[in-house]
Amino acid sequence: MSESATTEVPLPGLETLEPVQPEDRSGRWIERGPSGKLMLFSGRSNPDLADEIAELLGIQLGDVQLKTFANGETYCRFQESVRGADVFIVQSPHGEHVNDHLLELLIMIDAAKLASANRITAVMPWFPYSRQDKKSSPREPITAKLVAELLQAAGVDRVLTMDLHAGQIQGFFTIPVDHMTALPLFVQHYRDKGLQGEGIVAVSPDPGRAKTANKFAQMLEADIAYMSKIRPEHEVASMLEVTGRVRGKTAILTDDIIVTGGTLIAAAEALKESGANEVYACATHGLIPEAAFERLAASELAEITVSNTVPIDPLRRPAKVRVLPVSKLLAETVQNVFSDESVSAIFAGENQLF
């Protein structure tokens, strides 16, 4: 009787992307057919991520001049022809320069449109203003919708983004929005650490993350628990109760954004009080100001894992803050969009988390 061989199947979205290598050396673009070509450009918000994507695609970043005049205005000029090209612009507006980054992206889109680009795609791993997705109080704007309208008015044809704060943001657009997720990366990270199966509980820090936490628990073969919270004011979170069995288990909190860390710190304290042995946390977007690093370092959290959708200074971040790269997922998504292939196939259809 012959023995059957077992093959390890990687989690959806974690397959190794083979770089597309030109015959001689890296060029400025990827050719498709007699006229189509992929050109990748970067704004000034996260150039390291753009470099990683370009390297995986086997091309060089396009040459674009970006500068800020003495009066604060932004100047943009593409230093090479983009006529007829599929132009991808990588920009994750964040931090104290979020508005400058956003306007720079709009200007780059307009410049590419006026230069006769065939199709313009904004690669925005972090979508700015995504937490302002509804009216929570009278006389408030829905700023996420405004950002969507600005992008479309500038002339963008498509948006690639990752782990949106709320699913309805996709409905603010009348153009295609490709939604990616870093969830498989986090699952693989914890599996590599042996944090899976019995003794592990995935925790949703608020009801809005319940569906994602359920998917996270399934992928880790873990139990699930839920928390409720209130926000007495902006950037302040207070945990009310824990629903689910966490006593004697290792808890892993999953969220989309970390800013001040208030939600995760309060959740970790509540989980410890409920009997959890250790508390880990992961979030796709680490929008962490330097002032919050000390609080996170002193918290009950054993480890905080984020992705590099926005840059985090490696010299200032605490040792317990880990950063996972999302460049492979982004590079493969860019390649599939350019080739008119399925984006959801990269995640085996598991990227609809809302």
- In terms of DSSP bridges, do strands 158-162 and 74-78 run parallel, antiparallel, or are they unpaired? unpaired
Annotation marks residue 229 as catalytic: yes
Tokens describing residue 250: 């290792």
> Is residue 58 left, alpha or beta, with left meaning phi > 0 and alpha meaning psi from -120 to 50?
left
The catalytic residue among 113, 229, 272, 320 is 229
Tokens describing residue 40: 């990748």
Phi, psi of 184 (to 5 degrees): -60, -30
Question: Cα 21 vs. chain centroid, distance in angstroms?
Answer: 26
User: Scanning the structure block, which residue is given the tokens 């065939």?
Assistant: 118
Tokens describing residue 71: 């009066």
Q: How far is it, in rounded angstroms, from Cα 31 to Cα 117? A: 14
Q: How far is it, in rounded angstroms, from Cα 297 to Cα 294? A: 5
* Contact predicate 352/214, CB 8 Å: no
Tokens describing residue 38: 């992929």
Q: How far is it, in rounded angstroms, from Cα 324 to Cα 170? A: 25
Phi, psi of 59 (to 5 degrees): -130, 170
> Is residue 65 left, alpha or beta, with left meaning phi > 0 and alpha meaning psi from -120 to 50?
beta
* Contact predicate 188/14, CB 8 Å: yes
Please enumerate in sequence order all residues whose Cβ is within 8 A of that of 109, keeping only pairs 6 or more positions apart, or say none. Answer: 89, 120, 122, 151, 154, 155, 156
| Three-state DSSP state, 132 | coil
- Active-site positions? 229
